[in-house]
Amino acid sequence: MHPNERTIERLLHEVQKPARYIGGEPNEVRKDEATARILLSYPDAYEIGISNQALQILYTMVNERTGAAAERCYCPWPDMADAMRREGVELFSLERWAPARSFDLWGITLQHELCYTNVLEMIDLAGLPLHAADRREGDPVIIAGGPCASNPEPLALYVDAFLIGEAEDTLERLVGIMERLEGRERRMAALANTPSVYVPAVHAPAGPAADATPVDRAIYADFSIDTQPRRPIVPYSSAIFNRASVEVMRGCTRGCRFCHAGTWYRPVRERPAELVAEAGLEQLACTGYDELSLTSLATSDYTDVDEAIRLVKEQRPDLHLSLPSNRVDTGPVAMSAAANARQSSITIAPEAATQRMRNIICKTIDDEMIDGAVRAAFEQGYTSLKTYFMIGLPRETHDEVQAIVDFGIRARGIGREVLGDGARFTVHVSASNFVPKPHTPFQWEGMAPRIQLIRKAQFLRREMPRQQIRLSIHDVETSMLEGALSRGSRHTARAIERAWRAGARFDAWSEMYDEQAWLTAFEAEGTTLDAEATRQFDDFEPLPWDHVRSGVSREFLLDELWQSRAEAITGDCRWDGCTECGACLGPVRTKVVR
């Protein structure tokens, strides 16, 4: 037990939402005896981290497939963190209240860039040296993974190793290293020789140089349903997603040029409908949830979507079935199959409102398809239509921003036509700021200047009608930070530390974001936050993440960049033939059910 257990119990009476720290949730696994101790963390608040599907997968795999024990911790909210520092309480796991520093391996999931200061916060709360180079024998090995590990350099000073890509086929090997070898030095040496593991001190000891040892992304080739959690942990307190979920498909070949996930998770792999339904129904039975989500990057593209919905509804006809990602062209069919009298909301993502901009970003849809999807949603009885667009895209003009307003008006008109003038419905129009990501065709492009994004947002707020239309726009300040961090280097790592030492943490939370801390941090490193966010790389310039190989070739990404400048689209290889991106040149191929 944690040596400060009584102190922790006392602190729980002082903080908001003490249920974030108590553990003991339904379906939690606790092993008193274990061959190795693995701590799994999501560097955000409990209610965000408990909903992360990747962490649930890893937790289940370690506890069910190995003799090791996986436990969890999330980033304490500032009230708890401050109290822990005051009382000398170190970061602890939920399962046993065991100190984080007592574990053999500490895995951290990097889902988005705005959690980077929380990574430093958790390391410091654990009582460990902040810098990986300062850690000694007896300290746990800290390994990070997730989509942001595709550019590990902004955290390379603080994380011992990075798992590049999908963890399922590598996880047991990592656990085996912890079980088989004693001592931090021997374990680090073994990790450095493990495929798809990047150890900055070994692979790029002088920094992110162009000649750093390349590391290939791990790909879960089999995509077996066996790794899908059947008994997920059910949170005591509120979570952002209180529902069962089954991942039906991984990967996407649509080729949207802004989309990191569309490159990083290629090729497409699908699970058979009967196995999806079985896993979903089993989750529902042991959690008490009354909603099931069929998850993927584009669930309406899943070949077996209709059959999976049919099989689930045969057993649970009144179930709230959620399809969180619907394509404009394939979505209407899935909407029809999933429609339920209890449901009211559906989401589509046109991303851009003019054909010219859709050609630039390679969104292979047209106005007729978009209007058809809107009409189908209202005809199926949905009364809340959520739509997503981006502003600040490369070569965007005023016409593209005006077209978002025009879309809102047009969608409202379709709703009135289908549902009637007096019907109660809402068209939600969400506009986010384009942020370039590594391993995409737009990785060479910079963000639009801050003042442009502000003025475009002001225009949308001024021109978008309010009756039956609800507009939301992502704030420019955190978008600029995301842009500065997403394509950062080890130079960026020093700015992250400066910002954290100035009090930055929970940067994704608007009430917590301290922009001045970040502005000062970048200036102290001889640059500015905006300069880093808006930087445009030369087409042939070495990039800080070039040593991380996604499987999609640099040549393909460059060709797609040039295609965007020519306002030309590239077809989807699932229907239009191979585009020679490189993702299927290795041992893994696109695998669809039908």
- CATH at residue 400: 3.80.30.20
Quickly state the pLDDT bin for 192 (edges 50, 70, 90). Answer: very high
Same domain, 250 and 369: yes
Same domain, 263 and 176: no
The pLDDT value recorded for residue 340 is 59
Same domain, 166 and 306: no
Chain-centre distance of CA 44, in angstroms? 12
Domain membership of residue 488 (yes or no) is no
Instruction: Please list, residue by residue across 144-153, b when 16 or more beta carbons sit within 10 angstroms of its beta carbon and e when fewer do.
Output: bbbbbbbbbb
Same domain, 201 and 247: no
Domain membership of residue 10 (yes or no) is yes
Quickly state the pLDDT bin for 334 (edges 50, 70, 90). Answer: low
**Which of 216, 231, 263 represents a domain boundary (last residue)?**
216
Rounded CA Rg of the chain: 24
| Beta partners for residue 73, in sequence order | 41
Same domain, 461 and 365: yes
The CA-based angle 408-412-415, given to 5 degrees, is 145
Task: Provide the 3-class DSSP secondary structure of residue 67.
Answer: coil
DSSP 518-550: HHHHHHHTTS-HHHHHH----TTS--TTTTEE-
The pLDDT value recorded for residue 338 is 57
Inform me whether the pLDDT recorded for 51 exceeds 80: yes
DSSP 8-state symbol, 226: G
On whether the CB atoms of residues 140 and 106 are closer than 8 A, the answer is yes
Q: Where are the beta strands (DSSP E) in 475-531?
A: none
For residue range 267-324, list pLDDT tens digits in order. Answer: 999 999 999 999 999 999 999 898 899 999 888 889 999 899 999 999 998 888 888 7
Mean pLDDT of 137-143: 97
Same domain, 196 and 295: no
Same domain, 206 and 284: no
Q: Domain containing 132 — which CATH number?
A: 3.40.50.280
Instruction: Please list, residue by residue across 184-206, b when 16 or more beta carbons sit within 10 angstroms of its beta carbon and e when fewer do.
Output: beebbebbbebebbbbbebbbee
Domain membership of residue 203 (yes or no) is yes
Domain membership of residue 522 (yes or no) is no
Q: Is the dihedral of CA 561, 563, 567, 569 positive or negative?
A: negative
Comparison of pLDDT for 1 and 283, the residue scoring more: 283
Chain-centre distance of CA 589, in angstroms? 23
Domain membership of residue 303 (yes or no) is yes
Please provide the average confidence, as pLDDT, over all residues in the chain.
93
Same domain, 427 and 562: yes
Q: What pTM, to 2 d.p., does this model score?
A: 0.95
Domain membership of residue 356 (yes or no) is yes
Q: Distance between CA 305 and CA 283 in Å, rounded?
A: 18
Q: Distance between CA 67 and CA 484 in Å, rounded?
A: 41
What type of residue sits at position 153? E
Q: Write out the residue range of the structural domain in which residue 321 sits.
A: 243-474+551-576
User: What percent of the chain is modeled with pLDDT above 70?
Assistant: 96
Same domain, 188 and 256: no
Same domain, 288 and 185: no
Query: Order of strands across the sheet with 426-433?
Result: 345-351, 384-391, 426-433, 469-473
Number of domains forming the structure of the chain: 2
Q: Distance between CA 45 and CA 80 in Å, rounded?
A: 11
Inform me whether the pLDDT recorded for 335 exceeds 80: no
Chain-centre distance of CA 150, in angstroms? 12
Domain membership of residue 226 (yes or no) is no
Same domain, 265 and 200: no
Domain membership of residue 155 (yes or no) is yes
DSSP 578-591: ----STTSSS---B
What type of residue sits at position 86? R
Quickly state the pLDDT bin for 210 (edges 50, 70, 90). Answer: low
